[in-house]
Amino acid sequence: MAIRRIRVFPDPILRKKCRVVRRVDDRVRVLAADMIETLDGAGGIGLAANQVGALQRVVTIHLPGDESAIVLVNPEVRETEGEREIIEGCLSFPGYEGLVKRSVSVKARWLDENGSKMKVTAEELFAQAIEHEIDHLNGILFVDHLLAHEKLVAAGTLEREDEPHMHDVELEVHADHSDDAIDDERNEPDESDVEIVQSTIKFSDLYSDSSISQMHYDLRSAGYVIDDPDPDPGPGRQRHNGDGQNRVESDDPHLNGGVLLDPERRN
Ligand code: NI
């Protein structure tokens, strides 16, 4: 598995329509595995393939509290119910969020990573994620659903719990070696069997600095974020402190208040 660079607005690939996957094969599974690693590295909830440069109808979703992410190939919404206003963000707009209208529940179907047919009635955040990600596959972005340009604001301005993190993150990976020992007569698991591996996911692994600068520029040019507290962040500024803390002490006001959500789930 590998982390892939996340494309940010206004990268033209975000406006492209993704192609239907004809066969769920190993190439699709590798793409999906990379997308899950990228999604989890960024602390996001959903990721569509064109956000990492692949024009295929593949989506990964990792809901907070769920042990692992799911893969949705050729996802379709068959039916929607209700309407609600909800704050939304997107990994292709790091540091921004806005109020959009989404369905309360959706009936959806897709193929999983083994090509098996899946069918669910999803509600609330799951429904929102499915709608948001299928939009991506059709070249539609959440800013297209905003009621007005000024409804897009710097992240942290609105009350929202599922902020992706905008900084380097230390992950503790627990590797269990209790099954590895050949002559281990003990039945009880031992702490020495568990190896703790530290790994760092860098913000620069996820995003290119020039694309972030371009995003700020283009959003302002398009009239978004009229209350922008910092009209000129300038190119090449550091946007993460890299100390692994949950709260960002960035000098970029767009990125202050980025909180690492539910770090437990990434173990
Ligand atoms: Ni998105």
pLDDT in tens, 74-123: 999 999 999 999 999 999 999 999 999 999 999 999 999 999 999 999 99
Q: Which of 88, 43, 69, 74 lies closest to 137, judged by CA?
A: 74
Q: Which of 45, 32, 8, 16 lies closest to 137, judged by CA?
A: 16
Residues of the chain with pLDDT > 90, as a percent, come to: 55
pLDDT in tens, 208-256: 888 999 998 999 888 887 665 554 444 443 333 333 333 333 333 333 3
What's the rounded mean pLDDT across residues 130-153?
91
How far apart (Å, rounded) are the C-alpha atoms in residues 85 and 97? 13
Residue 119 Cα to ligand 1 midpoint, Å, equals 22
What's the rounded mean pLDDT across residues 55-83?
97
Contact yes or no for 251/233 (Cβ under 8 A)? no
How far apart (Å, rounded) are the C-alpha atoms in residues 253 and 229? 7
What's the rounded mean pLDDT across residues 48-69?
97
Strands ordered across the beta sheet of 84-89: 84-89, 96-102, 152-154
Residue 172 Cα to ligand 1 midpoint, Å, equals 26
Check pLDDT > 90 for residue 166: no
- Distance of CA 225 to CAs 81, 93, 115, 209, Å? 31, 12, 42, 20
Residue 197 Cα to ligand 1 midpoint, Å, equals 30
Asked which of 3-12, 13-22, 147-156 is least confident by mean pLDDT, the reply is 147-156
pLDDT, averaged across the chain: 80
| SS3 (DSSP) at 52 | helix
How far apart (Å, rounded) are the C-alpha atoms in residues 161 and 64? 10
Residues of the chain with pLDDT > 70, as a percent, come to: 70
Residue 21 Cα to ligand 1 midpoint, Å, equals 20
Contact yes or no for 54/31 (Cβ under 8 A)? yes
Q: How many CB atoms lie within 10 A of CB 106?
A: 24
3-class SS shares of the chain: helix, strand, coil, % to 5: 25, 25, 50
Measured in degrees and rounded to the nearest 5, phi and psi for residue 194 equal: -105, 115
Residue type (1 letter), 130? I
Q: How many CB atoms lie within 10 A of CB 229?
A: 11
Burial of 255 per CB tally in 10 Å (0-12, 13-18, 19+): buried
Domains for the chain: give ranges and CATH numbers: 12-154 (3.90.45.10), 169-201 (no CATH), 203-265 (no CATH)
Asked which of 21-35, 85-99, 129-143, 217-231 is least confident by mean pLDDT, the reply is 217-231
Residue 117 Cα to ligand 1 midpoint, Å, equals 24
Residue 10 Cα to ligand 1 midpoint, Å, equals 13
In the Cβ-directed half-sphere of 53, how many Cα atoms lie within 13 Å? 9
pLDDT band at 156 (very low <50, low <70, confident <90, very high): confident
Catalytic residues: 133
How far apart (Å, rounded) are the C-alpha atoms in residues 16 and 88? 21
Residue 141 Cα to ligand 1 midpoint, Å, equals 7
Q: Which of 160, 110, 107, 114 lies closest to 137, judged by CA?
A: 110
In the Cβ-directed half-sphere of 263, how many Cα atoms lie within 13 Å? 14
pLDDT band at 150 (very low <50, low <70, confident <90, very high): confident
For the full predicted model, state whether its pTM sits above 0.85. no
pLDDT band at 207 (very low <50, low <70, confident <90, very high): very high
